[in-house]
Amino acid sequence: MPASNPEPAPISALRDDGSVDSAHAGALSGELAVALFEHMVLARAFDERLVALQREGVVSQHASAIGEEAAIVGAAAAMHDEDWVFPSSREFAAALWRGMPLAAYAHHVVGSRRDVGHGRNAPDPPFWKAARVVSVSPLSGSHVPHAVGVAWAARTQKHDVAALLYFGEGATSSGEFHTGLNFAGVLGAPVVAFCRNDGRALSTSASQQTASASFAVKAVAYGLRGVRVDGSDVVAVFGVVRDARARAAAGQGATLVEAVIPGVEAADPVAKLRRHLVAQGLWDAERDQRLAGEVHVDVERAILEATAAGPPPPETMTSDVFAASEREGETAT
Amino acid sequence: MTHAIDTQSNVKTGNATSMNLVQAINDALKLEMRRDPRVVVLGEDVGKVGGVFRVTQGLWDEFGDDRVIDTPLSEGGIIGTAIGMALYGMVPVPEIQFADFIFPAYDQIVSELAKMRWRSGGEYTAKMVIRTPVGGGIRGGLYHSQSPESLFIHVAGLKVVCPSNPHDAKGLLLASIRDPDPVLFFEPKRIYRAAKGDVPEGDYTVPIGKAAVVREGNHVTLLAWGAMLYEAIAAADEARKQGIEAEIVDLRTLWPVDVDTIVASVKKTGRVVVVHEAPRTCGFGAELVAIVNEKAFDHLEAPPARVCGFDTPFPYALEMDYLPLAHRILPAIVQTAKY
pLDDT tens-digit readout, A248-291: 999 999 999 999 999 999 999 999 999 999 999 999 999 999 99
Is some CB atom of chain B closer than 8 A to the CB atom of A153?
yes
| Contact (CB, 8 A) for A22 and A15 | no
In this prediction, residue A111 carries a pLDDT of 96
Is some CB atom of chain B closer than 8 A to the CB atom of A183?
yes
In this prediction, residue A203 carries a pLDDT of 73
* Torsion sign, CA atoms B294, B296, B299, B305: negative
**Of residues B3, B144, B219, B299, which has the active-site annotation?**
B144
In the predicted model, is pLDDT for residue B194 greater than 80? yes
Q: Chain A residue with minimal CA distance to B256? A: A332
ipTM for the predicted complex comes to 0.94
Q: What is the distance in angstroms between the Cα of B259 and the nearest Cα belonging to chain A?
A: 7
Which one-letter amino acid corresponds to residue B70? D
Contacts of B122 in chain A (CB under 8 A): 319-320
Is some CB atom of chain B closer than 8 A to the CB atom of A191?
no
- The burial of A159, by beta-carbon neighbours within 10 Å (0-12 exposed, 13-18 middle, 19 or more buried), is given as middle
Q: What is the distance in angstroms between the Cα of A135 and the nearest Cα belonging to chain B?
A: 6
Q: Chain A residue with minimal CA distance to B82? A: A149
Whether residue B76 and residue A175 make contact (CB cut-off 8 A), yes or no, is yes
Is some CB atom of chain A closer than 8 A to the CB atom of B152?
no
Which candidate, B224, B278, B293, places its Cα nearest to that of B252? Answer: B224
Number of neighbours of residue B236 by Cβ within 10 angstroms: 26
User: What are the pLDDT digits (tens) for B146-165?
Assistant: 999 999 999 999 999 999 99
Whether residue A180 and residue B90 make contact (CB cut-off 8 A), yes or no, is no
Element spanning B159, H or E: strand B159-161
User: What are the pLDDT digits (tens) for B26-66?
Assistant: 999 999 999 999 999 999 999 999 999 999 999 999 999 99
Whether residue B81 and residue A129 make contact (CB cut-off 8 A), yes or no, is no
In this prediction, residue B311 carries a pLDDT of 98
Whether residue A175 and residue B255 make contact (CB cut-off 8 A), yes or no, is no
Q: Chain B residue with minimal CA distance to A156? A: B66
In this prediction, residue A201 carries a pLDDT of 67
Sheet holding A163-168, edge to edge: A84-86, A163-168, A191-197, A255-260, A225-230
Q: Chain A residue with minimal CA distance to B122? A: A320
| Contact (CB, 8 A) for A194 and A164 | yes
- The stretches in chain A having pLDDT less than 70 are 1-7, 201-202, 325-333
Is B3 among the catalytic positions?
no
In this prediction, residue A151 carries a pLDDT of 98
User: What are the pLDDT digits (tens) for B212-224?
Assistant: 999 999 999 999 9
Is some CB atom of chain B closer than 8 A to the CB atom of A146?
yes
User: What are the pLDDT digits (tens) for B242-273?
Assistant: 999 999 999 999 999 999 999 999 999 999 99
Q: What is the distance in angstroms between the Cα of A267 and the nearest Cα belonging to chain B?
A: 36
Three-state DSSP state, A313: coil
Which site among A132, A158, A183 would you substitute to test the B interface, given the most B Cβ atoms closer than 10 Å to its Cβ? A183
Contacts of A120 in chain B (CB under 8 A): 118-119, 121
Q: What is the distance in angstroms between the Cα of A91 and the nearest Cα belonging to chain B?
A: 17
Q: What is the distance in angstroms between the Cα of B295 and the nearest Cα belonging to chain A?
A: 10
| Contact (CB, 8 A) for A179 and B74 | yes
E strands of B8-107, at which residues?
A: 16-20, 39-43, 68-70, 91-95
Whether residue A134 and residue B112 make contact (CB cut-off 8 A), yes or no, is no
In this prediction, residue A8 carries a pLDDT of 72
* C-alpha dihedral (B72, B93, B24, A322), degrees to nearest 10: 150
Strand partners, B200: B16
- The burial of A15, by beta-carbon neighbours within 10 Å (0-12 exposed, 13-18 middle, 19 or more buried), is given as middle
Contacts of A147 in chain B (CB under 8 A): 84
d(CA A151, CA A153) in angstroms, rounded, equals 5
Whether residue A180 and residue B81 make contact (CB cut-off 8 A), yes or no, is yes
Which site among A179, A317, A319 would you substitute to test the B interface, given the most B Cβ atoms closer than 10 Å to its Cβ? A179
Angle formed at CA B152 by CA B147 and CA B158, multiple of 5 degrees: 135
In this prediction, residue A207 carries a pLDDT of 79
Which site among A127, A152, A177, A222 would you substitute to test the B interface, given the most B Cβ atoms closer than 10 Å to its Cβ? A152
**Per-position DSSP letters for A100-126, written without gaps between them:** --HHHHHHHHHT-TT-TTTT-SPSS--
In this prediction, residue B1 carries a pLDDT of 37
| Contact (CB, 8 A) for A163 and A148 | yes
Please, which residues have CB within 8 angstroms of residue A330's CB and are 6 or more apart in sequence?
none
In this prediction, residue B47 carries a pLDDT of 96
User: What are the pLDDT digits (tens) for B110-143?
Assistant: 999 999 999 999 999 999 999 999 999 999 999 9
Size of interface A-B (CB pairs under 8 A): 141
pTM of the model: 0.95
In this prediction, residue B3 carries a pLDDT of 44
Q: What is the distance in angstroms between the Cα of A319 and the nearest Cα belonging to chain B?
A: 7
In this prediction, residue A325 carries a pLDDT of 67
